Amino acid sequence: MLRYFISILLIVTSFSAMSQEEAPKIEEGKLLETARDSVTEKDKYGLRFGIDLGRPVFTFLDDNYTGFEIVGDFRVSKKLYIATELGNEERTIDDNQLNFTAKGSYIKLGVDYNLYSNWFGMDNMIYAGGRYSFSTFSQTLNSYSLLNRNQVFEEELLVEPGTEFSSLNASWLELVFGAKVEMFNNFYMGASVRIARLFSNTEPDNFANLWIPGFNKVTNDSSFGVGFNYTLSYRIPIFKKDR
């Protein structure tokens, strides 16, 4: 009897010891699972603003150009951003027969849609978007040179050098493709290409709008234009949402 009692006691003791060893592992597993569940991915929401780096560079390199552009966006959902650009440009164009200066301001309003799915901890964009753009400007005819009266202007339509045409405006739509990469915490580098379609263009009498601030060059045979920008921006983080 004593031998059987000792055997049963040893078996019970062994099971008790095994259960005590397994309990911490189970508790540890639960803790790890709870810790993983408590770490959720969050996206940053806030106002991002910055400048176009290209225009100051062109201002420095080109004596006939001066310009700047402020850019901004605000995230409204996981993929959608409200975006805007504000700028001012002045450019003098001198070709073989005509020298003129155009200067004015513009605003572009629209949205960007992020096509890129970020990994955990990333906040980058590859996006497509659209803008409605509007510009107010003036143009000054500095000088002109005609080889004959049938070239460029008819004689009765000529205007005096130094004439300024003011209160001009134009509007257009832009299709935007670009990318923004977070270089440091809340600091972003970006680049975009814009394909624009001119819709309205108020021209003065006896002259044509050959260059529009924000739109660039205007040609007689096409209402389309192309533009670029290269940006440095900073986001003010206002709040976060679970991804």
Q: What is the pLDDT tens value at each position of the chain, 243 positions in all?
A: 444 434 443 443 443 444 444 444 434 444 444 444 445 677 889 999 999 999 999 999 999 999 999 999 999 999 999 999 999 999 999 877 788 999 999 999 999 999 999 888 889 999 999 999 999 999 998 887 765 555 444 444 467 777 888 999 999 999 999 999 999 999 999 999 999 999 999 988 778 888 999 999 888 778 899 999 999 999 998 887 877
Amino acid at 173: L
Say if residue 17 is in the same domain as residue 59: no
Residue 23 counted as domain residue: yes
Q: Which domain holds residue 16?
A: 11-40
**Cα–Cα dist 173/235, whole Å:** 26
Q: Are 16 and 136 part of one and the same domain?
A: no
Query: Is residue 123, in this structure, part of any structural domain at all?
Result: yes
Per the domain annotation, does 83 fall within a domain? Answer: yes
pLDDT for the residue 11: 43
Contacts of 33 (CB under 8 A, 6+ apart): none
139 assigned to some structural domain = yes
Q: Judge whether 71 and 84 are in contact, CB under 8 Å.
A: yes
Specify whether 71 is located in the same domain as 96: yes
This prediction's pTM: 0.77
For residues 128 and 235, membership in a common domain is answered with yes
**82 & 200 share domain:** yes
Domain of 103, CATH number, reads 2.40.160.20
For the chain, the maximum distance between any two Cα atoms, rounded to a whole number of angstroms, is 133
User: Is there a single domain that holds both residue 20 and residue 77?
Assistant: no
Pair 170, 204 in one domain: yes
Same-domain pairing of 48 and 139 = yes
Question: Based on the domain organization, do 148 and 28 belong to the same domain?
Answer: no
Q: Which residues, 6+ apart, have CB-to-CB distance to 97 below 8 Å? A: 144, 145, 146, 147, 151, 152
Domain membership of residue 3 (yes or no) is no
197 and 78, same domain (yes or no): yes
How confident is the model at residue 148, as a pLDDT?
A: 54
Q: How far, in Å, CA of 225 to CA of 141, rounded?
A: 23
> Is 164 a member of any domain?
yes
Per-residue pLDDT, 10: 42
The answer to whether residue 2 is domain-embedded is: no
Identify whether residues 114 and 191 lie together within a single domain: yes
Quick check: is 141 in a domain? yes
Q: Is 158 helix (H, G, I), strand (E, B) or coil?
A: coil
Say if residue 152 is in the same domain as residue 32: no
Q: Provide the number of structural domains found in the chain.
A: 2
